[in-house]
Amino acid sequence: MAYKISDECISCGACADACPVSCISEGDGKYVLVIEGAPEGAAEAKDFSSISPEEHVAKYESEGMAIVDAIKKAAKDRGMSKSEFYKLLVN
């Protein structure tokens, strides 16, 4: 079950990055807080350790994501902050 965060939300994303259990995500222009776990039969977490960070970002870009969003999603997939993930990309 998901609940909307109040209308005072300015969609900055700070709460999503700060959530230790990744229960806050962007949805339809608003951020939502997921209270219950994934529904039965939902896909399990994928292991992206077999592809490079660059390939991971390219995967999301090929699906039509903007590079900034692709980096953010890839970092979240790997359980890293955006800044940690970005450091991997530039080194």
Instruction: Enumerate the domain spans of the chain.
Output: 2-34, 53-90
Question: Could you give the percent of the chain with pLDDT greater than 70?
Answer: 55
pTM as predicted:
0.51
Q: Indicate the CATH number for domain 2-34.
A: 3.30.70.20
Which residues have a Cβ under 8 Å from the Cβ of 12 and sit 6 or more positions away?
Answer: none
pLDDT of residue 63: 93
In this predicted structure, what is the pLDDT of residue 48? 79
Task: Round the CA-based radius of gyration of the chain to a whole number and report it.
Answer: 14
Model confidence pLDDT, tens digit, residues 13-41: 777 766 666 667 766 666 666 666 655 54
What is the rounded average pLDDT of the residues 53-73? 92
